[in-house]
Amino acid sequence: MCGIVGAISERDVQGILLEGLRRLEYRGYDSAGLAVIDRAGQVRRAREVGKVAVLAEVIQASPLHGATGIAHTRWATHGEPSQSNAHPHMSGDHLAIVHNGIIENYQELRDELKEAGFEFTSQTDTEVVAHLIERHYRELGSLLQAVKAAIAQLRGAYALAVVHAAEPDHLVVCRAGSPLVVGVGIGENFIASDQLALLSVTDRFLFLEEGDIADIHKDRIQVFDRAGTPAERKVVRFEHGVDSTDKGPYRHFMLKEIYEQPKVIKATMEGRVTDTRVLEQALGTEAGRLLENIRHVQIIACGTSYHAGMVARYWIEDLAGIPCSVEVASEFRYRKHVVQPDTLFLCISQSGETADTLAALRQAKQAGFRAALAICNVPGSSLVRESDLVIMTQAGPEIGVASTKAFTTQLTALLIFTLALARHNGLEAGREAEIVAAIHQLPGQVEQVLALDGEIAELSRAFMDKHHSLFLGRGALFPVALEGALKLKEISYIHAEAYPAGELKHGPLALVDSEMPVVTVAPNNDLLEKLKSNLEEVRARGGELFVFADKVAGVRSEDGIHVMQIPEVHDITAPIVYTVPLQLLAYHVAVLKGTDVDQPRNLAKSVTVE
């Protein structure tokens, strides 16, 4: 999704801006651009379709010197990916703007501005904002005032950064529905849509709140809240290691992140569980009060986070014995819901900035849910700031677009939360201790699965020339099958569908033949015997099976069945362990196919627009 970077300094900022854009590449984009105010007070701009590297080459050939600048990676929403639609957009030759998000009333504003004589050179909603600010600038003679006046007319969700040739000593930025952080330097300051973009220049950040406008000079930052009143925003230090944006010895971020899982699962457990029980207080001082008398849980999320929510539903109903509903945020936000009394609203999001998830949360607050809990990976994100209770996953920055370590740490956090909730609902201490012991085993078990990497790489060859695949699971392993299918389709572009194995006969069996690999996650649980019958149904149709199972499950490799042996795990923690081989499978298939593993086509890491 779109990324913003900006800088104001004594020195040339083009290098800082390009480095920031490179660090945002993982979010997905289709074009990139940069504008600076040069020493002669002129706005100079370069924009290119394609990768940041293409833009960097152009700038190397024809440098853009200047100490104030803004830059952008664009993920097309209004208008195709093209040079003229790429940001920064300009009004005349003196005002430049970059924008994330969507302006809903752009068409009527565009008509108005055209009538007032402004000429448009792109199809974007952003160019409308550029001209609108310029129109106000002509009247008010101040960039800050002009931005304030313009945004009062905007409807939608956006983050903006604006420069003006007549005022080269500052940037004006604002956020309303799209993330924006200010990086605090010494004698220089920066802005970005994601703090990762600025880690090479600072580790101190100031998070703007909804509706804030900030006036950024190289030696001072002034923030105004929604009402226009000067506001104080705390400066916080970046919490994760700076090396987290480096691939290290791994070929791709995705592989590095798969391998980090034992460490980050452990980090997510740390301080939250003893040997035998969950420390409720470690979930937040308010946790006890908020979890008391919860009678229903409503989970909302998107993508991989939604699959984590689906697993959590099995846990919540099984261990806490209270009903739980799960829904994708984009559906939830556009329908009427019946709010049961004492319902906990639970949002799961790696980024904490997914537009649909945030919109669902804001709606839920109005609708009268009892409290909002967030499971999130990004400190300071909108979701974290707007929730009553937050359980941070400790995955560290996740760069690969296809989510891996975020998912398994979400599951770890969700299981810990479930145990806390279940204790309020009569979970016996013995059962809690048994599950906590299983949680402690997770890092070691995931290590054991990672040791199968070579074998899984071999297995992946069977998928290379296939066009379709089917993933099966039952119970809490069904969402794991969904997640495995999602991983494969995201990065290898092979069509992958997941079904609860019991549904096989109700349709997908018609598709099964030797060209359709069938992947199954089959831990030794209550549903194993039923699952085995489902596997027979596939075998009888000539389907080739790839089964991930433990020794006890008793499924043996033979003609048409490839079994990958997974360590024996507790029933409850099985979804976490069984996810990992499916991540590795998708990864190796994608590598064999030669796709862009970390930045698959058409996808974005953080979907901050609807």
CA distance 562 to 585: 13
In angstroms, give the least distance from the CB of 141 to ligand G6P.
41
Told to check if 85 binds ligand G6P by CB under 6 A, we report no
> For the chain, what is the total number of helices (H) and then of strands (E)?
18, 25
From residue 356, give the alpha-carbon distance in Å to each of 209, 239, 362: 18, 26, 10
From residue 147, give the alpha-carbon distance in Å to each of 89, 142, 225: 15, 9, 13
Told to check if 524 binds ligand G6P by CB under 6 A, we report no
Which region, judged by CB under 6 A, interacts with ligand G6P, from 284-292, 363-371, 556-564, 602-610?
Answer: 602-610
Told to check if 606 binds ligand G6P by CB under 6 A, we report yes
Residue with token string 């009888």: 540
In angstroms, give the least distance from the CB of 356 to ligand G6P.
8
Q: Interface mask (CB under 6 A) for ligand G6P, residues 396-425, using x and -? A: -----x-x----------------------
User: Residue 167 or residue 257: which is nearer to ligand G6P going by CB?
Assistant: 257
Whether residue 489 lies in the annotated active site: no
Question: Distance of alpha carbon 282 from its chain centroid, rounded?
Answer: 25
CA distance 236 to 535: 53
User: Residue 397 or residue 475: which is nearer to ligand G6P going by CB?
Assistant: 397
User: Residue 88 or residue 352: which is nearer to ligand G6P going by CB?
Assistant: 352
Candidate list 2, 174, 347, 376, residue with the active-site label: 2
Closest CA to 576 of 420, 406, 418: 406
In angstroms, give the least distance from the CB of 23 to ligand G6P.
17
User: Residue 524 or residue 606: which is nearer to ligand G6P going by CB?
Assistant: 606
Whether residue 2 lies in the annotated active site: yes
In angstroms, give the least distance from the CB of 301 to ligand G6P.
6
User: Residue 14 or residue 606: which is nearer to ligand G6P going by CB?
Assistant: 606
Told to check if 193 binds ligand G6P by CB under 6 A, we report no
What sign has the CA pseudo-torsion 349, 352, 353, 357?
positive
User: Residue 305 or residue 492: which is nearer to ligand G6P going by CB?
Assistant: 305
Told to check if 126 binds ligand G6P by CB under 6 A, we report no
Told to check if 484 binds ligand G6P by CB under 6 A, we report no
Other Cβ atoms closer than 10 A to 185:
18
CA distance 380 to 264: 19
CA distance 389 to 263: 24
Based on the number of CB atoms within 10 Å of its own CB, is 77 exposed (0-12), middle (13-18) or buried (19 or more)? middle
In angstroms, give the least distance from the CB of 491 to ligand G6P.
10
Told to check if 373 binds ligand G6P by CB under 6 A, we report no
Please, which of residues 343-362 interact with ligand G6P by CB under 6 A?
349-351, 354, 357
Name the amino acid, one letter, at 321. Answer: G
CA distance 235 to 510: 59
The site for ligand G6P, by CB under 6 A, has a size of 15
In angstroms, give the least distance from the CB of 460 to ligand G6P.
21
Single out the residue of 69, 183, 303, 479 in contact with ligand G6P (rule: CB under 6 A): 303
Which region, judged by CB under 6 A, interacts with ligand G6P, from 208-216, 226-234, 298-306, 389-397?
Answer: 298-306
CA distance 503 to 497: 12
From residue 497, give the alpha-carbon distance in Å to each of 94, 375, 472, 605: 51, 27, 9, 21
| Residue at shortest CB range from ligand G6P | 303
Side-chain half-sphere CA neighbours of 212 within 13 A? 22
Single out the residue of 58, 367, 509, 603 in contact with ligand G6P (rule: CB under 6 A): 603
CA distance 72 to 85: 12
Told to check if 124 binds ligand G6P by CB under 6 A, we report no
The residues assigned a catalytic role are: 2, 605
Q: Kindly list the residues in this chain that would bind ligand G6P in the complex (CB under 6 A).
A: 302-305, 349-351, 354, 357, 401, 403, 603, 605-607
